[in-house]
Amino acid sequence: MLFKVEMTVNPPSHLSEEEFNAIKIKEKNYAEELQREGIWVHLWRVAGLYANVSIFEVRDNQHLHDVLMALPLYPYMNVSVTPLCQHPSSIK
Amino acid sequence: MLFKVEMTVNPPSHLSEEEFNAIKIKEKNYAEELQREGIWVHLWRVAGLYANVSIFEVRDNQHLHDVLMALPLYPYMNVSVTPLCQHPSSIK
Amino acid sequence: MLFKVEMTVNPPSHLSEEEFNAIKIKEKNYAEELQREGIWVHLWRVAGLYANVSIFEVRDNQHLHDVLMALPLYPYMNVSVTPLCQHPSSIK
Amino acid sequence: MLFKVEMTVNPPSHLSEEEFNAIKIKEKNYAEELQREGIWVHLWRVAGLYANVSIFEVRDNQHLHDVLMALPLYPYMNVSVTPLCQHPSSIK
Amino acid sequence: MLFKVEMTVNPPSHLSEEEFNAIKIKEKNYAEELQREGIWVHLWRVAGLYANVSIFEVRDNQHLHDVLMALPLYPYMNVSVTPLCQHPSSIK
Amino acid sequence: MLFKVEMTVNPPSHLSEEEFNAIKIKEKNYAEELQREGIWVHLWRVAGLYANVSIFEVRDNQHLHDVLMALPLYPYMNVSVTPLCQHPSSIK
Amino acid sequence: MLFKVEMTVNPPSHLSEEEFNAIKIKEKNYAEELQREGIWVHLWRVAGLYANVSIFEVRDNQHLHDVLMALPLYPYMNVSVTPLCQHPSSIK
Amino acid sequence: MLFKVEMTVNPPSHLSEEEFNAIKIKEKNYAEELQREGIWVHLWRVAGLYANVSIFEVRDNQHLHDVLMALPLYPYMNVSVTPLCQHPSSIK
Amino acid sequence: MLFKVEMTVNPPSHLSEEEFNAIKIKEKNYAEELQREGIWVHLWRVAGLYANVSIFEVRDNQHLHDVLMALPLYPYMNVSVTPLCQHPSSIK
Amino acid sequence: MLFKVEMTVNPPSHLSEEEFNAIKIKEKNYAEELQREGIWVHLWRVAGLYANVSIFEVRDNQHLHDVLMALPLYPYMNVSVTPLCQHPSSIK
């Protein structure tokens, strides 16, 4: 089951650059792991913004929630979730 | 080059169902053609809404514009366009 | 899997009262059927508005989409969809 | 009498994690107590967000207000309140 | 129990002035009746707008809903509902 | 002359609880005084929110401004002001 | 007492140009009359829009309401009203 | 050439009252000077808010920009700018 | 003096395609004339939308207003106007 | 390929004036360099605001993203990106 998830990062001013970079490395590792597992199926950067458009393939809403809540950057992001399904004109 | 395009259809009350269905058939054929050409690379239905989330692969902004403006349903849709690019954590 | 769905009805001015009442009767029958099937698990009226707050239990996003798109009143409604899941403090 | 209450938590950056966790434990206990009393009748997590959709059964507006204002997390939440009532198509 | 209800009238262009005036007379009679019954406790005009700010005293949400839905002008209004309760600094 | 004034309090995180409580006590005294003077004619709490709906009776705009600006909590509030006048259907 | 009033005109598509022009002439006469009476003290066009920014000097809210409701173009306008008063840094 | 400029002040919590008062005195002097020069032609307080509605008479956009950027309170304000011109119904 | 003007066209459903095309031809001629006169200095299409981003060079606000109001498509457009001036980092 | 990029600067209160000025000098040098390279083709200041309207000429979305992300002021700005293309009525 697919979901579109859009994430905008708001770098916190109360963390040092080192602290924030450490979190970003964890985020990168976690994102790559989820992609290898076929959960994070698409991850695009929004041109010009510190934001991404992502497509997640998950078992259900709970699975999506658990995956997103484990994002190290989660506390510093605005997240929107849109459930997707098959489009009648899609040839896939 | 990738763009996210979101489309919400607002069925017009001044057209008959037949007239609107005819336009929808043209739209479906055109969408399938663009998918076969690798331009309309992803087309998902937003669950519960008469809307879609799409990813287009085009040469440039002009190519995107021409492709979208030729959508038979275009006059009856709200469209938003977001330019995308490679995400540093994407493994593709 | 649960979804919150909020619906606001915008009675169309181009239909006669009889035509619109006929649609509303179909809607009522369909809603009651879905409730008996355990799909439409909660249906509340928003006090003072021609709107409702509903909870749907469905297999997945596609099932939700198909159920909602079959609502006779769908063309005359604004619909929002929110995926839900277990809350850690819920005792159910 | 039913109310839909939606709560979005904005973790405060001026509290330590320990301080905030202590508040969250109080919140969990309080929520469970209200559920056992039949006041907090539904509590769902919004998938992907630090937010919930809840249904409260209370005597009146004042009762709702007192219950919500006693939430330990209240100062760190955005709250919206929607009064509900019987839907003519509900079979309950 | 008190509710603030704000109503903005959008005169329909598909009704003749006579038809709309007839509805407005019914609205006026109904409003006066509710005021005499102590249900519609305050009714103020917003200066410069075809809108009002009202306070209703009702038994519960359902009572409020039934009262508002019977407003002859209801189909031509945007309505917002806000539940009120005792303010700790009110001396009434 | 009547005005509807809606106030939402945003407790400041840079003040201690004691400091903020002291301000709230001043606010309460001031509010009670204005009510006794017949200026603050209605003061209701919005159920579930740290906000109020109020009706002020003042000589003119300047009087309203001076009264509101003297609110001890003013710096920590979002305020909206709506001028009111006699509604043709009001029986008062 | 001063009010800022902003008006945006939305020409109705269900009236002929002649009918609408006739209304505009009445509007112009009425506006000039109010200016001569010192009620409509400032009337500026917003550059590039079919809208104006106006300052009205009136006795009270009711006077403002009556003046605005008599605008022939009123049914075809969005209107916003802002009460003004003396600014401490104004040298007038 | 006229512009409407609306300014809302957001007192900064990181400055002491003395520091902020000093800035406000500079602002007042500067505002009075611009009024004497016929640049700041109208300055009204919005009743109930820490905001103003102003009309500036300037040579061109650049002149307006330079005048506004020199406002001592500028860093603590939200500012909106609307270009104005002669209204066909204005008798001035 | 420069202004950014953004225009979004909303094709009217009450005009025939021929009538609307005739207006569009007048619009095109007028736009080309203004460009030759150095008034409409930049005219770009927003990719994917029936909208444009334009830069106008005019004497003053009144000149801008007169130019825009003469656009044949004006009644069918949403227009926003932003005054521009020299940027300190611009090398032109 | 052209993009409109609008940037609004929000000066951070946690940096000293010197620190922020140093960043602004880097920004100015970088902006001038990009203009000389023909990437930042237009840079206008929005009159009255700490914001700009810019037109960028870039190879593709990725190029735009890399250019914008390297802006020293980027962390302190709200940025919006709009893809542009040839307008059929443009004579360039």
Q: Which residues face A42 on adjacent strands?
A: A55
Partner residue opposite C79 with nearest CB, options B13, B45, B49: B49
D43 neighbors C89 (Cβ within 8 angstroms): yes
Rg, C-alpha atoms of chain F: 14
Could you tell me if residue H46 is inside a domain? yes
**Span H30-80, pLDDT tens digits:** 999 999 999 999 999 999 999 999 999 999 999 999 999 999 999 999 999
What are phi and psi for residue E11, nearest 5 degrees?
A: -50, 125
CATH of the domain at F28: 3.30.70.1060
Could you tell me if residue A63 is inside a domain? yes
Could you tell me if residue G17 is inside a domain? yes
Tokens of C21: 């009442």
**Span J28-81, pLDDT tens digits:** 999 999 999 999 999 999 999 999 999 999 999 999 999 999 999 999 999 999
Give the Cβ contact number of residue I20 at 10 Å. 16
**Span D10-68, pLDDT tens digits:** 999 889 999 999 999 999 999 999 999 999 999 999 999 999 999 999 999 999 999 99
**Span C64-75, pLDDT tens digits:** 999 999 999 999
All residues at 6 or more sequence positions from D79 whose CB lies less than 8 Å from its CB, including other chains? D5, D6, D7, D68, F48, F49
Partner residue opposite E89 with nearest CB, options F43, F86, F87: F43
Could you tell me if residue D89 is inside a domain? no
User: Which chain I residues in 21-50 lie under 8 Å from chain J, judged by CB atoms?
Assistant: 27-28, 31-32, 35-36, 42-48
End-to-end CA distance of chain E: 14
Could you tell me if residue D87 is inside a domain? no
Residues G75, G79, G81, CA angle at the centre, nearest 5°? 140
Could you tell me if residue F48 is inside a domain? yes
Which of E87, C5, E63 shows the shortest CA–CA distance to D1? Answer: E63
Contact criterion met (CB < 8 Å) for I86 and J31: no
**Which of chain F's residues have a Cβ under 8 Å away from the Cβ of D62?**
47
**Span E57-75, pLDDT tens digits:** 999 999 999 999 999 999 9
The whole-angstrom separation of Cα E49 and Cα E77 is 13
Tokens of J10: 């929000």
How many Cβ contacts (< 8 angstroms) between chains D and F? 22
Residues H48, G92, H12, CA angle at the centre, nearest 5°? 40
> Taking residues F52-59, what's their average pLDDT?
98
Q: Which residue range(s) make up the domain with F59?
A: 2-78
The whole-angstrom separation of Cα J25 and Cα J48 is 21
Contact criterion met (CB < 8 Å) for A48 and J14: no
Q: How many structural domains are present in chain F?
A: 1
Q: Does any CB of chain E come closer than 8 Å to the CB of residue F57?
A: no
Task: Of A12-16, C59-63, E83-87, give the lowest mean pLDDT range.
Answer: A12-16
Which of J47, I74, E79, H28 shows the shortest CA–CA distance to C46? Answer: E79
H27 neighbors H73 (Cβ within 8 angstroms): yes
The whole-angstrom separation of Cα A68 and Cα A74 is 7
Could you tell me if residue C92 is inside a domain? no
The whole-angstrom separation of Cα E87 and Cα F42 is 10
I76 neighbors I10 (Cβ within 8 angstroms): yes
**Which of chain A's residues have a Cβ under 8 Å away from the Cβ of C60?**
1, 60, 85
Residue of B nearest to I14 (CA): B14
The whole-angstrom separation of Cα E66 and Cα D85 is 10
Which of G37, G10, G38 shows the shortest CA–CA distance to G23? Answer: G10
**Which of chain H's residues have a Cβ under 8 Å away from the Cβ of G57?**
none
End-to-end CA distance of chain B: 14
How many Cβ contacts (< 8 angstroms) between chains I and J? 87
Whether ipTM exceeds 0.90: yes
Tokens of D7: 């709560």
Could you tell me if residue C91 is inside a domain? no
Partner residue opposite H65 with nearest CB, options J11, J13, J47: J47
Give the Cβ contact number of residue D30 at 10 Å. 17
